[in-house]
Chains A and B, each alone.
Chain A
Amino acid sequence: MRNRSFIKHYYIMLLPGMVWLLFISIIPMFGIAIAFQDFNPGQGIWKSTWIGLENFEYMFSLNDTKTIFFNTVYIAVMKIAGNLIVPLVFAIMLNELRLMVIKRWVQTIVYLPHFLSWVILSGILLDVFSYTGPVNGLLNIVGIEPVLFFARADLFPFIVVGSDVWKEFGFNTIIYLAALTGISPSLYEAASIDGATRMRRIWHVTLPGLRTTIVLLAVLSLGNVLNAGFDQIFNLYNPLLYSTGDIIDTWVYREGLLNMQYGLATAVGLLKSVVSFVLIIVSYLLASKFANYRIF
Chain B
Amino acid sequence: MVMVAMMLLLAFTSACSDAGNEDETAENNTTPGVVEEGPADPFGKYDQTITLRYGKEVDPTDKSLPAGDTPENNQYSRYVKDNLNIDTKVTWQAATGTNYEQKVNLAISSNDLPDALVVKDTQLRAMVKAGQLEDLTDAFNRYASPAMKSYMEKTNGVSAQAVTFDGKMYAIPSIQVQSDGVHQMWIRKDWLDKLGLEPPKTMEELENVAKAFVEQDPDGNGKNDTIGIAGQQNGSRLYANFLESTNNTYGLDPIFGAYKAYPGFWLKDNAGNPVYGSILPETKEALAKLRDMYANGLIDKELGIRKAASESVVNGNAGIFFAPWWMGYGPLPDAIKNDPKANWQAYLLPLDADGQFNAHMGAPSTVFVVVRKGYEHPEAVVKMLNLLIRDESKFDISVPVGHYPLRVPMSYMDESEYSAKALQEVLAGTKKPEDFTDPGYKLLAADIQNVKKVKKEPYDNMDIQYWDPQADLGVWSRIYSLLVGSSSLQQDYNKVYSLLYSQTRTMESRWSNLKKLEDETFLKIIMGAAPLDTFDTFVNDWKKQGGDKITEEVKEYVK
Contacts and interface: CB of A to CB of B under 8 A. Distances in A.
Interface of A: 24-25, 27-34, 39-47, 58, 62, 64, 123, 126, 130-132, 148, 150-153, 226-227, 230, 238-240, 242-243, 248-249, 252-262, 264-266, 269-270, 272-273, 276
8 contacts: A25-B5, A41-B111, A42-B18, A64-B516, A123-B307, A240-B520, A264-B509, A266-B4
Given A269-B4, A273-B4, A44 B18 contact: yes
Given A131-B301, A239-B516, A266 B529 contact: no
A25 B2 CA distance: 9
Classify chain B's interface size.
Answer: 35 or more
Given A254-B512, A262-B7, A151 B305 contact: yes
B12 A30 contact: yes
A90 B529 CA distance: 38
A29 B234 contact: no
B1 A130 contact: no
Q: Which of B11, B18, B101, B105 has the most CB of A within 10 A?
A: B11
B13 to A, nearest CB: 9
A166 B558 CA distance: 56
A252 B102 CA distance: 13
A79 to B, nearest CB: 15
B525 to A, nearest CB: 11
B502 to A, nearest CB: 14
Nearest to B125: A260
B9 A262 contact: no
- The B interface is mostly helix, strand or loop, or mixed, namely helix
Given A123-B307, A257-B106, A34 B301 contact: no
Interface in B89-116: 98, 101-102, 105-106, 108-111
A260 B108 contact: yes
Nearest to B131: A42
B304 A239 contact: yes
Contacts, number: 158
B106 A148 contact: no
B305 A28 contact: no
Given A40-B130, A126-B305, 5 more contacts: A34-B8, A148-B305, A239-B523, A257-B102, A258-B102
B18 A58 contact: no
B377 interface: no
B10 interface: yes
Nearest 4 CB-CB pairings of A with B: A42-B130, A31-B8, A31-B11, A44-B18
Contacts of B4: 252, 266, 269-270, 272-273
A285 B519 CA distance: 44
A44 B15 contact: yes
Contacts of A39: 11
Contacts of B164: none
B85 interface: no
Contacts of A230: 2-3
Contact of B304 (A126, A238, A270): A238
B101 A41 contact: no
A25 B10 CA distance: 12
A273 B523 CA distance: 33
Contacts of B2: 227, 230, 249
A13 B513 CA distance: 47
Contacts of A33: 11
B92 to A, nearest CB: 15
A62 B3 CA distance: 20
A237 to B, nearest CB: 9
A44 B111 contact: yes
Interface in B484-501: none
Given A131-B302, A260-B109, A34 B527 contact: no
Interface in B1-31: 1-5, 7-12, 14-15, 18-19
